[in-house]
Amino acid sequence: MPQASNTSSDTGWLKAISDVADKDNVYLSDQGWVYRHYKKDDKSVFWDEIIVAGAVPSGDSPAAFGAASPTFLTGDGTSAPLPDLTSVTVGGSLTPASSSAVAYTSTLVQTNVADATFQWTSSDSSAVFSAATAANTNVTFSAAGEFTLTCTVTSADAASTVSDTITVTAS
């Protein structure tokens, strides 16, 4: 039975199955949980879809199905920003000592993703990473020379990949 006390279990699946579903467009009606689809940016034209049907306890104060101004889950009725992965910046020494572990960092710039995954690589095929799939890592270059160091960040939510490469001269 759809009810306010079951918000998480009744609507928690929404984000898992849709990249564009916005919980700000969900409200509890007298017929169950409803998703409001807007046809215009100004929200003057819409259609409602029942996503969890059933009798709703009157004590939950459900809105009438199709009500013009129902109370949405977060109450603001605005669209959440789409996930965005803009860029990554690599930081650390440009002149590391070979055979010494040196710290390198990655900084995500203007992003709102929660599922970022990291991958560090180097043109020094013998370089050793303390954590090649973490945001920050220590790198030990195998010998003196000029190498590239790249951090690639991927987000399934944002459907994008960004990377940054620096050139280091190990001595």
Verify that 89 and 166 share a domain, yes or no.
yes
Verify that 49 and 118 share a domain, yes or no.
no
Question: DSSP labels for 138-163?
Answer: EEE-SSSEEEEEEEEEEETTTTEEEE
Verify that 94 and 150 share a domain, yes or no.
yes
Q: Which domain holds residue 120?
A: 85-170
Tokens of 145: 């020379």
Q: Which residues of 102-135 are buried (b: 16+ CB within 10 A; e: fewer)?
A: bebebebeebebeebebebbbebeebebeeeeeb
Distance CA 55, CA 74 (A): 22
Verify that 90 and 40 share a domain, yes or no.
no
**Do residues 167 and 148 make contact, with C-beta atoms less than 8 angstroms apart?**
yes
pLDDT tens digits for range 127-169: 999 999 999 999 999 999 999 999 999 988 777 889 999 999 9
Verify that 107 and 154 share a domain, yes or no.
yes
pLDDT tens digits for range 45-91: 888 999 999 888 888 889 999 998 888 876 444 555 556 788 899 99
What is the domain count for the chain?
A: 2
Verify that 91 and 154 share a domain, yes or no.
yes
